[in-house]
Structure 1
Amino acid sequence: MSKGVKIVTIGGGSSYTPEMMEGFIKRYEELPVREIWLVDIEEGMEKLETVGKMAQRMWDASPYDVKIHLTLERREALKDADFVTTQFRVGALNARVKDERIPLSYGMVGQETNGAGGIFKAFRTIPVILSIVEDMKELCPNAWLINFTNPSGMVTDAIIRYGKWEKVIGLCNVPVGAMMAEPELIGKTLDELIYSFAGLNHFHWHRVKDLQGNDVTSEIIDKMYGNDSGIPANIHDTPFFIEQLKQMNMIPCGYHRYYYRYEEMLQHMLDEYNDPNVGTRAQQVKQTEAELFELYKDPHLNYKPEQLSKRGGAHYSDAACETIASIYANKNTHIVVSTKNNGAVPDLAPDDVVEVSAYIGAAGAKPIAFGSFQPAERGWLQLMKNMELCVEEAAVTGNYGLSLQAFTINPLIPSGETAKRVLDELLIAHKKYLPQFAEKIEELEAAGCTVKDEVAKNLN
């Protein structure tokens, strides 16, 4: 790495890429980037070129001489990489629309990383990430893989469990959002507080102490009601029951609303689904994306536009840059990551991937011990982790029975004939991206199974 750092981004045509460039430019003095390769697929070529030109303008406006390379050839890019970041979406936003609309057409939660939609995002993504890992073993065996492709926890777990690749860290922007929003609620700054996170990706809790070791979690909980609680833009702000939070003396992540306030969240989703002028979150994001790429085409734009913060994943890319800088410079920075448990959460197995506070340095992530959860949270955690393990194995093997098992134990999917119908429709809708299920999909189509939702049915 002494000659400078080579960074490869898979999914380089993403609308988040300018935020990542901003993060690398900001950290150049501690992370001397030599070259950046942005990789995408044929269907993403136009976006890749648009984002690539903008990324180069951002570097040209900086004091640093960094060359942006664009390619559709992943293997060409990966050779001798120091860091590989992954931020791709198999099937693009149209696939997310299907993940949301098909379950909602049956009165079931349709969401990008939770419930049936989250399971299918994992089904499409895990085989692709494992193929990337195989290329890395050959072309850049010493590289670190920094993953923020969702569902980040399951994808990271699969990389270690099935890809046998240990040099990986999974990231999410949700903890970043909490740490940015909460301190000011109690008149503090982040460096005056100590945060402790533990759980799973999009299913974690956290506690907070001040620098004297006093627990201030309850104080933040009191202030959260009536204030901005740091909820990501893609989650409807239905408040938690304060009595529940007070009992656990922890702050759940925004996605817990789908579990703690299921009725209200489902109703909000159904209202948007049934309103042709609004549509599901994915349909709204498609509009935001279109606006962003129009901005990116401006030959004079050489900085990250404010509109990017409207995307639910704001701060993802900055977290990736800090993680890479922390590994490169052995900074031992506190970052919340998905990594091997190694005893940080005794309620789960040591080799389970968990999302926890960790110190990030040259050796990767060193998880900070959180301790055991109380019965309610422990029950949730163990159920959700075992559901994830079923999903990962089904994604790798294409086992339909195991997919049904995952659907049956997922708390957001009412079990029974309707759940099976949603599973079958999603398999058909995503046929192009699910070769591991090809035999079952052929059987379903022969039996006359089709997609009910007209919007989802007509998306390519």
Structure 2
Amino acid sequence: MKVTVIGGGSTYTPELTDGFARLYGQLPIEELWLVDPDASRLELVAGISRRIFAKAGHPGKIFTTNDVADGVRDADIVLLQLRIGGQAARHTDETFPHAEHCIGQETTGPGGLAKALRTVPVALEIAETVRRLAKPEAWIIDFTNPVGIVTRALLQAGHRAVGLCNVAIGFQRKFAAMLDVAPQDVQLDHVGLNHLTWETGVKVRSDGVFQDVLPRMLAEKLDALSEDVHMPGSLLTSQQAVPSYYLRYFYAHDQVLGEQLTQPSRAQAVMGMEAALLAKYADTSVDVKPAELALRGGAFYSEAAVELMASLTGNRTDIQVVNVPNNGALPFLPDDHVVEVPARVSASGMILQPVAPLSGEIASLIGHVAGYERLALDAAIHGGRDRVLRAMLSHPLVGQYERAEKLTDALLAANHQHLAWA
């Protein structure tokens, strides 16, 4: 099997290669190709990745290239982990909205729109190369934010693609630890859009049967759940659900904004982490994934990726949380909108699992953000200030015309070098 990672010079990559090394029995990779335009980073990341493989006795070979065509030729799976503009662009995403009293974040709000505009055209160009040169049944797995928008762009263009996020597997592992059970004995009723999700059920296997224990968790472990997502316990009780951390940008907007205005951006923090990680990767005695990588934000990324890849190629038909077309799962959204829900995964595709009806306030927020996502994708594909402005105005964190105009102009000024039409 040949697996290709586009953006292979990312400091995330050793998280992946560690998973590939540990879980070789599930995913027998013969060739791992890392593709990245940054040759210096690529060689450092490839070096530690090769040492991780060697230490684990993994027989696969790791190749590097800056040529997408070489990397994806005859690939079985292509994983996208792009960051167009690097951490510098991310820092801009996280700061330019502050002038208009909006939170700065790379996946939602004005910053998320900026990242979508930069990323979608590049992802589509890469996908066309995959279509031409990879194996006919190759899968594209998108881990590139904003995952929902990028994945829908790929699917709309006819590519065999699925989106992946580590929020669900992170919750699964946390809940398993809280309940003192094995992670594989926990299934989630995880529902929403990428980075706009709720856990509406936590099912634990007992005597072969999964039973929902979320009501008991909300009664007995409310403080711990509230602390984990940094939101009031009363909100969780009211919704009878556990919102993902990203809901703070909506439910505690002004509090989050205040925190952002007094702290370094996440991009600045990550730049420091990456410098330390790259120094570790350069040390030829290091042959294990550095502990500092856990701070980078990719916890359980490798497990999620390996499980998805193994099911797509090995036909395991297990249930995983993925980003896929709605196809009626949320009846208030179009069928082609990409949602993040559990699905039974096999080589032939994904079969969505039933989704329980959502409360009015959850459904209304999902519907509002979904409308924004469709406008954002239109702007990313076709360009034009007017399209960007319409998407900006439609986002629930913006919602005022004068503010939307100022944010649009700030976005375009900061990103003109990444937008062919600007």
* TM-score using structure 1 length: 0.87
C-alpha contact 2:15 2:298 (8 A) present in aligned 1: no
In 2, Cα distance between equivalents of 1:214 and 1:408 = 42
- Name the amino acid aligned to 1:38: L
Q: State the match for 2:395 in structure 1.
A: 410
- For the 8 Å contact 1:185–1:220, the answer to whether it is kept is no
Pick one of 133, 138, 150 that aligns with 2:127. 133
Separation in structure 1 between the aligned mates of residue 279 and residue 220 of structure 2, nearest angstrom: 39
Question: 1: distance between equivalents of 2:176 and 2:297?
Answer: 21
Give 5+ residue unaligned stretches, structure 1.
Answer: 232-236, 273-278, 439-460
Q: Is the 8 A contact 1:122 1:392 kept in 2?
A: yes
- The 5 Å alignment of 1:190-201 reads 190-201=183-194
- Aligned partners of 1:100 and 1:111 also within 8 Å: yes
Residues 328-348 of structure 1, C-alpha deviations (whole Å, 9 max, x = no match)? 211122211101112222222
Q: Answer with 254-263 or 204-213: which moved more.
A: 204-213
Partner Cα distance (1:414, 1:348) in 2: 21
Task: Determine the C-alpha separation between the residues in 1 that align with 2:82 and 2:412.
Answer: 20
Cα displacement string for residues 32-73 of structure 1 (whole angstroms, at most 9, x for unaligned residues)? 1111110011xx221111101111111122223221111011
Instruction: State the percentage of identical aligned residues.
Output: 35
Contact 1:323 1:360 in 2 (8 A): yes
Distance of 1:58 and 1:194 partners within structure 2: 31
> Which runs of 5 or more residues in structure 2 are unaligned?
none
| CA shift for structure 1 position 224 | 4.7
Q: Is the 8 A contact 2:143 2:165 kept in 1?
A: yes
Is the alpha carbon distance of 1:323 and 1:191 closer, same or farther for their aligned partners in structure 2, counting shifts above 3 Å? closer
Q: Could you give the per-residue CA deviations for residues 375-414 of structure 1, whole angstroms, max 9, x where no partner exists? A: 1111111111111000001000003222112111211225
Q: Distance in 2 between the 1:392 and 1:65 partners?
A: 41
Q: Determine whether 1:113 maps to 2:107.
A: yes
User: 1:216-239, CA deviations, whole angstroms, 9 ceiling, x for partnerless residues?
Assistant: 2122234554426695xxxxx632
Cα distance, 1:374 vs structure 2: 1.9
Contact 1:181 1:229 in 2 (8 A): no
The alignment status of 1:311 with 2:296, answered yes or no, reads yes
Structure-to-structure mapping, 1:196-211, within 5 angstroms: 196-206=189-199, 207-211=201-205
Match of 1:360 in 2: 345
What do residues 340-371 of structure 1 show as CA deviations (whole Å, max 9, x unaligned)? 11222222222211000112211122211103
- Choose from 86, 91, 94 the match for 1:100: 94
Q: Quick one: distance in 1 between partners of 2:323 and 2:226?
A: 23
**3-state SS of paired residue (1:105):** helix
Alpha-carbon distance in structure 2 between the residues aligned to 1:46 and 1:121: 24
Give the structure 2 partner of residue 215 of structure 1.
212
Q: Alpha-carbon deviation of 1:183?
A: 2.9
TM-score, normalization by structure 2? 0.94
Tell me how large the CA RMSD over aligned residues is: 1.7
1:149 aligned to which of 131, 144, 148 = 144
Report the residue type matching 1:420 in the other structure. E
Task: For 1:63, give the aligned amino acid.
Answer: G
Aligned residue number for residue 250 of structure 1: 241
Note closer, same or farther for the CA distance 1:135–1:282 as it changes in structure 2 (3 Å cut). Answer: same
Paired with 1:223 and 1:125, the residues of 2 have a C-alpha distance of 43
How far apart are the structure 1 equivalents of 2:221 and 2:246? 16
* 1:29 corresponds to 2:21: no
The 3-state SS of whatever aligns with 1:425 is: helix
**2:161 aligned residue (159, 168, 193):** 168
Please give the residue correspondences for 1:289-438 in structure 2 after superposition, counting only pairs within 5 Å: 289-436=274-421, 438=422
When residues 213 and 335 of structure 1 are mapped into structure 2, their CA distance, relative to the original with a 3 A threshold, is: closer
Q: Is 1:7 paired with 2:29?
A: no
